[in-house]
């Protein structure tokens, strides 16, 4: 059945041990937690999933696990190397993913015309519906409206995942209405405002820990009764403010741990000072979750 690209898609965390091996049992438990709280799908191997820390075999392993979750899976196949993007896209197709997501290549500047060719060839290799993934604050390369329109004219573009730059959502929604694709936001603390602009849903990192809050907000706004989610909206914003004291994506791990989930071992070096800030954030969030009766 065709996937309805709307709702809350969890930007899936990747739990690994201190040797970088995937914690498969913990990941399967996490899928159960997300399904129980009604998320609509997953974005695997995205920024929250720390794909840059994962080698190619591990990314394929995570992909294989994600498609067993029982949820529609959007797979980020981004890499600076076109051959790796093509290989991951083909793996996503074979594994049974619903679509692929592609960032522009990062670090080096890139002409928009070259970006179009990069996206088109990635989509052709995957032979799956495509989401463009715009996150210029991380990649250094912004996907222009003209580039998106050109890609939509050549391959099966079903959506754009927009992170940051709030006002750009408006232009993307207008272009999506013209070119028949949806827009999903990565800004999970402003879901009601963005849905009012026409955004179809959210790819949420916080949904790893508080999917119940994110889903209740989406459902209330979709039903035209956002007032019913006032408490959830305020709580999501409170969490968003608190986690600013720690860098992304380590702050997502802290929220998960505070909720009683298993984020695993950090994938990079973490100083003693950051460990202390991490524990402080975990303790603050634990107290909040107990107060809010979030089991």
Burial of 32 (0-12, 13-18, 19+ CB in 10 A): exposed
In a domain, 270, yes or no: no
- The CATH number of the domain holding residue 185 is 3.20.20.70
Listed in sequence order, the residues at least 6 apart from 41 whose beta carbon sits closer than 8 Å to its beta carbon are 3, 7, 9, 10, 71, 72, 73, 74, 98
In a domain, 289, yes or no: no
Which pTM was predicted?
Answer: 0.96
In a domain, 125, yes or no: yes
Q: What is the largest CA-CA distance in the chain?
A: 52
In a domain, 240, yes or no: no
Domain range for residue 79?
7-228
In a domain, 190, yes or no: yes
198: left (phi over 0), alpha (psi -120 to 50) or beta: left
| Summary count for the chain: helices (H), strands (E) | 12, 8
User: What's the confidence (pLDDT) of residue 142?
Assistant: 97
In a domain, 278, yes or no: no
User: What's the confidence (pLDDT) of residue 1?
Assistant: 59
> Tell me: the pLDDT tens digits for 75-133?
999 999 999 999 999 999 999 999 999 999 999 999 999 999 999 999 999 999 999 99
State how many domains the chain has: 1
In a domain, 174, yes or no: yes
Write phi, then psi, for 262 (nearest 5 degrees): -115, 100
Q: Is the dihedral of CA 19, 66, 247, 238 positive or negative?
A: negative
Tokens encoding 108: 């080096």
Residues of the chain with pLDDT under 70: 1
* Closest listed residue to residue 251, CA positions, set 229, 266, 237, 235: 266
In a domain, 54, yes or no: yes
Percent of the chain with pLDDT over 90: 98
Report in angstroms the alpha-carbon separations of 212 from 35, 50, 147, 231: 10, 23, 36, 12
CA atoms within 13 A on the CB side of 256: 29
User: What's the confidence (pLDDT) of residue 295?
Assistant: 74
């Amino acid at each position: 059945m065709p996937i309805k690209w709307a709702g809350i898609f969890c930007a899936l965390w990747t739990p690994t041990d201190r040797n970088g091996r995937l914690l498969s049992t913990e990941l399967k438990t996490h899928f159960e937690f997300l399904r129980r709280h009604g998320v609509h799908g997953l974005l695997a191997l995205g920024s929250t999933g720390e794909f840059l820390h994962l080698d190619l075999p591990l990314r394929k392993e995570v992909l294989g696990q994600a498609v067993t979750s029982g949820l529609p899976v959007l797979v980020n196949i981004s890499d600076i190397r076109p051959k790796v993007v093509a290989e991951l896209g083909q793996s996503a197709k074979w594994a049974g993913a619903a679509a692929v997501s592609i960032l522009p290549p990062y670090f080096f500047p890139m002409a928009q015309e070259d970006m179009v060719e990069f996206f088109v060839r990635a989509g052709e290799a995957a032979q799956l519906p495509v989401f463009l993934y715009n996150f210029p604050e991380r990649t250094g390369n912004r996907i222009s409206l003209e580039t998106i329109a050109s890609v939509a004219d050549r391959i099966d573009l079903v959506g754009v995942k927009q992170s940051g730059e709030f006002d750009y959502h408006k232009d993307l929604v207008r272009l999506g209405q013209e070119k028949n694709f949806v827009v999903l936001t990565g800004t999970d603390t402003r879901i009601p405002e963005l849905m009012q602009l026409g955004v179809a849903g959210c790819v949420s990192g916080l949904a790893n820990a508080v999917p119940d809050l994110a889903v209740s907000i989406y459902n209330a706004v979709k039903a035209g009764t956002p007032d019913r989610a006032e408490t959830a909206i305020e709580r999501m914003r409170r969490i968003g403010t608190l986690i600013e004291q720690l860098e992304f994506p380590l702050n997502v791990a802290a929220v998960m741990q505070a909720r009683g989930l298993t984020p695993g071992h950090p994938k990079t070096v973490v100083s003693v000072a950051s460990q202390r800030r991490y524990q402080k954030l975990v303790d603050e969030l634990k107290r909040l979750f107990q107060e809010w009766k979030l089991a």
